[in-house]
Amino acid sequence: MVLLRALVLLLALVVSDVHCLPWFIKVSESQGPGTILQFFSFNCSSHIPTLELLHVQPPTTFFNPPSLTRWQGIYVGEVTLSSSAQLDALVVNHYELQLRFICGNHVMEGPLSVDVQQDPGHIRCAGRFASPGGEIIQVLETVSPGARLYTLLLPGLELQGAQMSITSAQDPPHFPGPFSINRQGWLQAPSQGLKGQAQKSFQLQVSVTFGQNRSCHGMLMVKVLPAPSSQVSFLEQAQNITILENLVPGSKVAQVQARGFDVRYEIVSPVPCPLFSIGRADGVVRTAAPLELTPATKGAAVTRLQVKAFERLRPWASVELDLTVKVRSVNRWPPRCLPELLVTQIPETMPVGTMLNTFTCTDPDSPGSTLDYQLRFHSPPGPASLCLRERVLEVNATLDCDTPGACFQHAASILVLDDGQPLMTTEVPVLVMVTPVNEFSPACVSRTFRVREDAGPHTLLGSVVGSDMDYPHDSIEYHTSGGSATFAVDHLSGEVRLLGSLDYELQRLYRLTVLLTDHSQDQDATCHHSGSCTITIEVEDVNDHAPECEPPFQELTIHTSLGQSVEVTKVLCRVPQEPQRLAFSYSIVGGNSQSRFSLQGAILVHNDLMLAPPWPEQPHTYELLIRVADAGPSIPHLSTTATVIVHLVPWRASTVATSTHRATMPSMMTPLLVTDTEAFWQPEPWFVVMLTMTGALLLLALGWLLNRLLQGIQGAERSIEGFMEAPRMEMPQAPSSIMSLQHFDGRAQDSRTGRDYLFNTRTGARHWL
């Protein structure tokens, strides 16, 4: 077997052309499963090749996937018939197999055409006759007895002298009589006829014998139908059908149905009918050609069909039906617009009604048809600024850019709709960029600022608040007119600050002109507008001069009588730098013992009304200190002190009248103004905390050292006491070594031994007695 296979391969290599495409082979219909149809040889040295069967036309399972075998360095492929292969030249006489060979990156495809040849010696039963269900034959119960019902045709049998016979049983009561079949394949009804056998089916097994003991078998199924009625009629008298023009040929349009026996249908008008056809048996009307409506085929929009229904066995029993088919155009393409995008740039001062853009749209499906246009807004979402009139985009309202987010860019779209089915739309984007225009001048409100005359440099007096109706509203710069050296205005914030010093006595009022200039509010960066306003600055008076008294020192002698008040003097004070300041307050701040003096405004009065006996008899001198302070609204309140020395001479009986001797300082004397400044120190809170903690730690350390010192003294005492308790030897001492008794300043007794001893409290020395 292996040797035979090798010979076959060798023969394939000899007779096969490697590079000849396509291949054509012929095979007999008598070939069975496993038959080798074709060999192929391929050279592929550096890769492992593959051979594939891509598809078969017409589709069938009669062919196995190709195999690929390596033999003596060459790959040999073969195509064989599968186990289900039953070739029949009368059914299909040509197959086309598409093969693909792959070797690395090299791919080669080609068809293999297989022609099935008829074999005269290979005749068999085929078709529905040989199928399990058999060939179905429908006959009326009114058929004549012995009438020919069917003719069995098997190709090739007419040359073989085939014998046909019914082998199945036909016994009554199941059969009215036997069916018969002759050599020509004519099946004949029973001699008794089929009357009364309606709705019955008769199964007949037929054997066909031909040649030398060769035969095949099949089945015929006879169904008996009832006798047809005498009238044919449609279920519906007229129909109007609307279809779309995009139906492909063969699509179902409608189905007509008629009453009757074994009814058939046909189109009788128009004849010929190029666009529609009808199923002869089922009455289904289908499209026979494309229905696309064009200006040249407008007549196809409405087609009136006249359909005839009739009985197959009695064609004269018929009826006709009118069927109107309306073809509606299909909307395939959306409208097309030019330009496809509308972009424009306009200033915000563009007047209402100005035309911005125009565009043109057409419907490819229906040129000249009416289109609908809708303007849709995206940002900002409102139809306030733009409008669409007759395909013209116009300004609908004032394009104000002076509020945040109200301008600069308008995004919208124009929706174009056609009137076809289905509805098709096209969207044209619209972008309108609005540029700002500097329309208005900045302005500010005149204001009045007040500042103390003692304010230091860089003191903030206030702010100039400018406003501009153009957006952005705060794009303003500030400047001063004339270049004031006393005040300055911040260019960006408008803050007014003090640069120099002020003096209420020299100038009380300033007027400052502030210039405002806008910027960044126009497409043109050089376009500016300006405005101005006047700022009034009032200097507030600050009390910076103490009052001066004339004279600052007075010495007076007065004689008083019992029970009388005497006006001593009047204190005269003023502020030379500020003559208008006249309000002062007076108070006695020193030297007014026993409250003998009081002030009535600037007048010093001696009061002797409340004195009780004994009355003073000797002269007495009082040195009064009178504090004079300004009492006006200006702050701070400054003061000075005037000194009045009063020599008081008490009342005597010999005194006739009270007199006052006034002694004042010469006018040429210069008063001495003494200023006493009390200095005090107020530490920071953290310093106080640190000082407290440090003191606490120092006290702890001192306590610890003291404790250690006491412990050391107590230890020394215990050591001495122990030493004294030890036995002692009384050694005679020389008189010269005995300490003088005058060095001991105390005497005591030892509590343990009971002995007396002298001691020196300074040195701690002891002398035992």
pLDDT tens digits, 464-517? 988 888 877 788 999 888 777 889 999 888 899 998 888 887 888 999 999 999
Pairing status of strand 238-244 against strand 318-328: parallel
DSSP reduced 3-state for 735: helix
458: left (phi over 0), alpha (psi -120 to 50) or beta: left
Query: Are residues 424 and 418 in contact, defined by beta-carbon separation less than 8 angstroms?
Result: yes
DSSP 292: -
- Other CB atoms within 10 A of residue 573 CB: 21
**Residue pLDDT, tens place only, 79-130:** 999 988 888 777 788 999 999 988 988 888 889 999 988 776 666 676 678 7
Spatial distance between the Cα atoms of 562 and 570, rounded to a whole number of angstroms? 22
| Closest to 260 measured CA to CA, from 241, 287, 233 | 233
DSSP reduced 3-state for 125: coil
CA angle 85, 89, 91 (to 5 degrees): 80
DSSP reduced 3-state for 5: helix
Query: Are residues 445 and 533 in contact, defined by beta-carbon separation less than 8 angstroms?
Result: yes
Spatial distance between the Cα atoms of 485 and 499, rounded to a whole number of angstroms? 7
> What Cα–Cα distance (Å) separates residue 180 from each residue in 68, 136, 165, 301, 565?
55, 16, 8, 56, 179
Which H, E and C letters describe 743-769, residue by residue? HCCEEEECCCCCCEEEECCCCCCEEEC
pLDDT at residue 314 greater than cutoff 80: no
**Residue pLDDT, tens place only, 38-86:** 887 878 877 888 888 999 998 998 899 998 888 777 888 889 999 888 8
pLDDT at residue 17 greater than cutoff 50: no
Which amino acid makes up residue 124? R
Asked which of 111-115, 344-348, 575-579 is least confident by mean pLDDT, the reply is 575-579
Dihedrals phi, psi of 743, to nearest 5 degrees: -85, -10
pLDDT at residue 285 greater than cutoff 90: yes
Spatial distance between the Cα atoms of 392 and 383, rounded to a whole number of angstroms? 15
| Closest to 505 measured CA to CA, from 459, 456, 544 | 544
| Closest to 630 measured CA to CA, from 702, 746, 547 | 547
Residue length, the chain? 769
Q: What pLDDT sits at residue 271?
A: 86
Which amino acid makes up residue 471? Y
**Residue pLDDT, tens place only, 359-398:** 889 888 777 778 888 888 877 666 567 888 878 888 877 7
How many helices (H) and strands (E) would you count in the chain? 2, 54
Asked which of 561-575, 604-618, 626-640 is least confident by mean pLDDT, the reply is 604-618
CA angle 45, 46, 48 (to 5 degrees): 85
Query: Are residues 302 and 327 in contact, defined by beta-carbon separation less than 8 angstroms?
Result: yes
| Closest to 561 measured CA to CA, from 597, 607, 622, 595 | 607
* 409 alpha-carbon distance from chain centroid: 21
Query: Are residues 477 and 499 in contact, defined by beta-carbon separation less than 8 angstroms?
Result: no
* 236 alpha-carbon distance from chain centroid: 62
Spatial distance between the Cα atoms of 687 and 433, rounded to a whole number of angstroms? 67
Dihedrals phi, psi of 124, to nearest 5 degrees: -150, 165
Query: Are residues 221 and 135 in contact, defined by beta-carbon separation less than 8 angstroms?
Result: yes
Spatial distance between the Cα atoms of 363 and 423, rounded to a whole number of angstroms? 12
pLDDT at residue 694 greater than cutoff 90: yes
Specify the higher pLDDT residue, 618 or 416: 416
Spatial distance between the Cα atoms of 688 and 696, rounded to a whole number of angstroms? 12
Residues 157-178, mean pLDDT to the nearest whole number: 80
pLDDT at residue 286 greater than cutoff 90: yes
DSSP bridge partners of 80? 36
Spatial distance between the Cα atoms of 615 and 158, rounded to a whole number of angstroms? 187
Specify the higher pLDDT residue, 93 or 714: 93
Entry pTM: 0.38
**Residue pLDDT, tens place only, 715-759:** 776 766 655 554 444 444 444 334 455 556 667 777 667 777 776
Structure tokens at 302: 């409405």
Q: What pLDDT sits at residue 562?
A: 67
Spatial distance between the Cα atoms of 128 and 135, rounded to a whole number of angstroms? 5
Q: What pLDDT sits at residue 260?
A: 84
Average pLDDT, the chain: 79
**Residue pLDDT, tens place only, 226-263:** 776 557 888 888 889 988 888 888 899 999 999 888 89
| Closest to 308 measured CA to CA, from 299, 298, 297, 317 | 317
Contacts of 342 (CB under 8 A, 6+ apart): 356, 357, 359, 393, 414, 428, 429, 430, 431
The residue behind tokens 């009139």 is 389
The residue behind tokens 């701040």 is 589
| Closest to 276 measured CA to CA, from 309, 233, 331, 324 | 324
Looking at beta carbons, which pairs linking 315-320 to residues 24 or more positions away fall under 8 Å? 317/228, 317/230, 317/231, 317/232, 317/260, 318/232, 319/232, 319/233, 319/234, 319/258, 320/268
HSE toward the beta carbon, residue 100, CA cutoff 13 A: 10
Spatial distance between the Cα atoms of 202 and 172, rounded to a whole number of angstroms? 12
Dihedrals phi, psi of 403, to nearest 5 degrees: -125, 145
Spatial distance between the Cα atoms of 665 and 223, rounded to a whole number of angstroms? 167
Residues 271-287, mean pLDDT to the nearest whole number: 91
Pairing status of strand 447-452 against strand 530-540: parallel
Spatial distance between the Cα atoms of 727 and 256, rounded to a whole number of angstroms? 159
| Closest to 337 measured CA to CA, from 400, 403, 425 | 425
**Residue pLDDT, tens place only, 530-564:** 999 999 999 887 777 788 888 888 888 888 776 67
Cis peptide before 111 (omega within 30 of 0): no
* 677 alpha-carbon distance from chain centroid: 71
Q: What pLDDT sits at residue 221?
A: 92
Pairing status of strand 23-28 against strand 106-117: parallel
Pairing status of strand 639-649 against strand 620-630: antiparallel
Structure tokens at 397: 């309202």
Dihedrals phi, psi of 185, to nearest 5 degrees: 85, 20
